[in-house]
Amino acid sequence: MAPMSKNFNPGRVGKRNRRCRMKGWETSLNLSIQRAMNLPVKPARPEHEALKADAKAWFEELRDRIGAAFEAIEQDYDGPLRHRAPGRFMYSHWTRESGGGGVTAVMRGRVFEKVGINVSTVWGTFDPEFGKTIRGAEQDPHFWATGISLVAHMHSPRVPAAHMNTRMLVTTKGWFGGGGDLTPLQPGTEAACEDAAAFHTAYRHACDAHHPNYYEKYRQWCDDYFFLPHRNEMRGAGGIFFDYLDSGDLVDDFGFTRDVGLAFLESYPAIVRRRMNERWTEAEREAQLIRRGRYVEFNLLYDRGTIFGLKTGGNVEAILMSLPPEVKWP
C-alpha cells in the first residue's frame, strides 16, 4: 500500500470509530426516544465525515504530481512537433453558487493536444428527483463530494488517450469511486496491445495490494461501464472502474483510492514517453479523429460524472473538458 498523505492521520479516524462504538448505546436510546415521541429522526452521518480534509488534500496533491509529470513530458519531447513550445498548465478557479468549487487545469501542448485535470469539492442538496438515484440521499438530500478527474487527448494517433478519476462522496452514507481507462486510437495493433498490458498490470498491482478479487471485479465493471450500446462496442482497452466502495475499513478504502491514482501516475506517463516521438501519417490522424467520436458519444450519453456534474450545478466548462478539441464523424 502506498504511504498516506502527510495530512492523513489514521489514528484520528480510529479514535473517532472508537467513540462512535462507545456511544452506540446512547445513539440507539436517542433514536428510540425520538420514535416514541413521533419526532423526526435525523439520519446518522458516516465515518467518512472525518476524512473530508484528507481526501481533498490528496486529490490536490495527485493533481500536482500528475501535472508535473505531464509538463516534464512536454519539455523532453523530440518528435514531429518539436518546433512548438512546450505546453504548460493554465489554472482557472471556479465557485459553485450553492456550495464549494474547484480548480480546472488545462494544457494544450506539443504532445498533449488537450489535457484537463479538474479537482473539485462541492456540497449542497440534491434535486428531489435526482436525489432518489443517489445512495443515502433518498430521505436526506444533503451531500458533500470531492474528487479528481483527468482526460488526456494526444496529438499523435500512436499515443492512446486516457481517463482517470477518483472521488469520495458523503450523504447519509459515505463511499469512494473512480478508476482509469485507456483508449488506443489504433486498436488491435501490437503497440496498442503492449500499452494496454502495461496499463492493466499497474492496476492489477494496485488492486492486489488490497483485495485478491478487486482486479477482476473492477476490470469487468470497467468493460461493462465503458460500453457503447448503440454501437455494440467498447470505448477502448479498458482498465478498472469501481463505485460505492465502503468495505467497513475506511483506512484501506482510502488507501486503495490513493493507489488507483498512483497506478495511473506510474503507467500512463511511461506509455506516452514510449510512443510520443514516433512519426505518424495523415491517414492515421484521420482515423484518430473518427475514433474520437466514440469518446464524445459515451461522455455525452452515458457518463455518470457528466450527468452528476450537470445535475448538481457544477462548472460546465470543467465538466465538458473531457471532450477532445477536434473530432470527425464520417
pLDDT at 56: 98
Residue 54, all three cell numbers: 484528507
All structural domains of the chain with their residue ranges:
45-322
pLDDT values of the chain reduced to their tens digit, one per residue, 330 residues: 444 444 445 455 444 444 444 444 444 444 444 455 555 555 567 899 999 999 999 999 999 999 999 999 999 999 999 999 999 999 999 998 889 999 999 999 999 999 999 999 999 998 888 888 888 888 899 999 999 999 999 999 999 999 999 999 999 999 999 999 999 999 889 999 999 999 999 999 999 999 999 999 999 999 999 999 999 998 889 999 999 999 999 999 999 999 999 999 999 999 999 999 999 999 999 999 999 999 899 889 988 778 877 877 777 887 787 889 999 998
pLDDT at 172: 94
Residue 22, all three cell numbers: 462507545
CA distance 144 to 139: 15
Residues annotated as catalytic are 163
CB 135 within 8 A of CB 274: no
pLDDT at 255: 98
pLDDT at 87: 98
pLDDT at 308: 78
Dihedral sign, Cα of residue 82, residue 85, residue 86, residue 91: negative
Q: At which residue does the C-alpha cell 482515423 appear?
A: 287
CA distance 188 to 197: 12
pLDDT at 68: 98
CB 324 within 8 A of CB 296: yes
Sheet holding 174-183, edge to edge: 90-95, 100-107, 112-125, 142-154, 161-170, 174-183, 238-245
Residue 219, all three cell numbers: 476490470
- Mention every residue, 6+ apart, whose C-beta is less than 8 A from residue 308: 314
| Fold topology of 45-322 | oxygen-dependent coproporphyrinogen oxidase (3.40.1500)
Fill in the DSSP letter of residue 37: T
